[in-house]
Amino acid sequence: MPIHVAVNHITTYKYDRLVNLDPQIIRLRPAPHSRTPVLSYSLKITPRNHFINWQQDPQGNYLARVVFPEKTDIFRVEVDLTADMTIINPFDFFLEEYAKDYPFKYELWLEKELKPFLEKTRHQEVFKSYLGTIENKKQVTIDFLVNLNQRLHSEIKYLIRLEHGVQTPEETLEKRSGSCRDSAWLLVNLLRHKGLAARFVSGYLIQLKADVKSLDGPSGAEKDFTDLHAWAETYLPGAGWIGLDPTSGLMAGEGHIPLVATPEPASASPITGLLEECKVDFDHRMIVTRIHEDPRVTKPFTDEQWNSINSIGMQVDRGLEEENVRLTMGGEPTFVSIDDTEGEEWNTGALGKNKRCLSEILLKRLKNRWTHGALIYSGQGKWYPGEQLPRWVLGCCWRKDGKPIWKDERLIADETKEYSFSIRHAEQFIKTLTAHIGVDPSCIIPGYEDVWYYLWKEKRLPKNVDPLKSKLKDVLERNRLANIFDKELGEIVGFALPLTSKESEIVTDWISGRWQFRDKYMYLMPGDSPMGLRMPLESLPWIRPEDIPQVYERDPLAHVDDLIDIKNHSSERAQDLKSQYHKETTGKEESEEEVVRTALCVQARDGIIYIFIPPLATIENYLDLIDKVEKTAEELSIPVIIEATPLHTIHALILLK
């Protein structure tokens, strides 16, 4: 899928008077060994009254020798060329057997022909010292060249140097900086002293803006760009001349179009020639333009085509809206890791070492591109037959009106980073949160693992099996037991705050209450799922089935008024916190209708604070509670991860899972 580009290069010399020009040598035609296909080329010279002779120098480079019979006050050279930017693999070659490992020695006949490119010059101590740091140990030849090229890229700072000429290798090493021609000449000298034939190359560098940003490295130019550039080439038996660009640390590819390749930089200058003494105004301009692009995966349509598609889409939307037609769209594109397409976790497995991490990275990239003030949360998704638990799901939701749900993304923890938050921080968080919500902190209740269940489980293990190193066939059960017994069974798992809401027209009134159990403590359901999914709700005071409060999902097509702005109104409440559902249970078999049966949970796992959001009646309740969680996280400087039950889908929110 090629991209064709047009390069326009104009060099102008304006003189303060009419002058005689000696013959001028122009080296601005792509060299015969250019791997990038040049589809067309033209050279225009001003003044028009001139004689031009095309020649080739001893190295085979194209030269235009131009003679001017009359005086002139302007000398202008304009190059136009088009090139096919089909991607070139710079490693697409084979080496002779004797040259596969470095160091190697050229065959005698080849060494004789390469003599100008093997010529060594005397150097000062700084060059010799640097040369001594380059090891001569046996290694793959390509590895040696790539490592040396990248080393110069990292150690020599790139500068745009307008001074005439090329620095000596010593100057470049002492300054640890230089232009592209300085780094290229340094590399040429290093290669020659290491026994490899090398030459200096001057040419065009074309860099095109990538369709999409790179996932694991530099994305390249921010816009299409071209300029004169310099790099080095070394001769490898079996492969020929191979380009090395120490300015970028890369091998020469389709963007490197050589114009001249010579043993010395002086004979590679784009334009050389004498003229009478005078004052000169110099101007240099280069432009690259895309003139043809085939559709491709990363850019299937041009900008004009996208605008046309969007225009038609807007027209369809207006028609659907006028006819009051409601549509929903579903789709499940499958994403896999580019590095492990055959891995079990990317095909059938629920879990794996990279799946969760890469999924989080993808979701955050989508969030940054498509949303504003979105909330990222985790929860449970599909439950496949034969699997013990539902699969995890990562979600992102945001408001259609553009107002933020979560304002500071720094307060959303990153599971790939190491934090050191403990159960102490979880307790501090939930107590601070009660102040923002406006409920009594005495309603907070710690949760523990069911000691008796796990002691019973341990007793059922074979005598010669350590629960920390169990050999149970079920991998999940084996890991679960190891994690449980690796901790003290009496440790607090997390904290729960019984919480529900009572709607009003303006604000959400939050209601809490004390949970009482037959035992003094709250023991969680056995398992290793988040605490919020293991609440012992069956142990709460009995209630008639018909009295159990239900949370129904709102009709996604029902009309909902615009969501009101979230305000912190907890300080405005005048109710007595201690009067909120604190009555003692009777102990009789009477239906306890007033017991709060949902709870917010705060849990510290692997150094990260997790907040479980319980089922809520309306999305307004949800947004209000999320706002208070963020205020608490900001006050305590504790980033958190939100764990939530499935969110209601309404027209005011957009969900991405």
Return d(Cα 637, Cα 624) in angstroms, integer: 20
CA-wise closest residue to 564 among 654, 652, 501, 631: 652
Residue type at 640 in one-letter notation: V
Architecture of domain 97-265: Roll (3.10)
Measure Cα distances from 338 to 285, 333, 355 in Å. 41, 15, 12
pLDDT of residue 486: 53
The CA dihedral of 108, 110, 116, 119, to the nearest 10 degrees, is -50
Q: Tokens for 474? A: 């079920």
Return d(Cα 591, Cα 48) in angstroms, integer: 104
Return d(Cα 650, Cα 643) in angstroms, integer: 20
| Size of the chain, expressed as the number of residues it contains | 657
**C-alpha atoms less than 13 angstroms from C-alpha of 15 in its C-beta half-sphere:** 16
Q: Tokens for 652? A: 């005011």
Return d(Cα 38, Cα 29) in angstroms, integer: 10
Measure Cα distances from 51 to 64, 65, 67, 70, 454 in Å. 10, 8, 5, 11, 97
Return d(Cα 397, Cα 649) in angstroms, integer: 10
Helices (H), 505-618: none
Q: Tokens for 25? A: 């040598």
Where in the sequence of the chain do the CATH 3.10.620.30 domains occur?
Answer: 97-265
Return d(Cα 551, Cα 373) in angstroms, integer: 27
In CATH, the number for domain 3-84 is: 2.60.40
pLDDT of residue 498: 94
Return d(Cα 488, Cα 466) in angstroms, integer: 16
Residue type at 306 in one-letter notation: W
3-state DSSP percent of the chain in helix, strand and coil, to 5 = 25, 25, 45
Measure Cα distances from 214 to 140, 249, 296, 407, 439 in Å. 28, 17, 16, 27, 48
Where in the sequence of the chain do the CATH 2.60.40 domains occur?
Answer: 3-84
Tally Cβ neighbours within 10 Å of residue 174.
13
Return d(Cα 621, Cα 632) in angstroms, integer: 17
Q: Average pLDDT across each block of 10 residues of the chain; the chain has 657 residues. List them in order.
A: 91 96 97 96 96 96 96 97 95 95 96 95 90 92 96 94 88 94 96 96 94 74 92 97 96 96 95 95 95 85 88 92 80 77 83 85 89 89 81 88 91 90 95 94 91 66 57 52 57 92 65 86 86 88 73 62 54 41 46 75 94 87 92 96 74 79
Reduce the DSSP state of residue 108 to 3 states and report it.
Answer: helix
146 CB burial (10 A radius; 0-12, 13-18, 19+): middle
Return d(Cα 69, Cα 293) in angstroms, integer: 44
Sorted by sequence, the CB contacts under 8 Å of residue 64 that are 6+ apart come out as: 25, 26, 27, 28, 29, 43, 52, 53, 54, 55
pLDDT of residue 521: 86
Sorted by sequence, the CB contacts under 8 Å of residue 93 that are 6+ apart come out as: 236, 238, 239, 240, 242
Cis amide leading into 103 (omega within 30): yes
Measure Cα distances from 67 to 23, 47, 50, 449 in Å. 5, 11, 6, 94
- Phi/psi zone of residue 220: left (φ > 0), alpha (ψ -120 to 50 degrees), beta? left
pLDDT of residue 380: 85
Q: DSSP character for 338?
A: T
Predicted TM-score (pTM) above 0.75: no
CA-wise closest residue to 205 among 220, 227, 182: 227
Helix axes 180-193, 141-155, angle to 10 degrees: 140
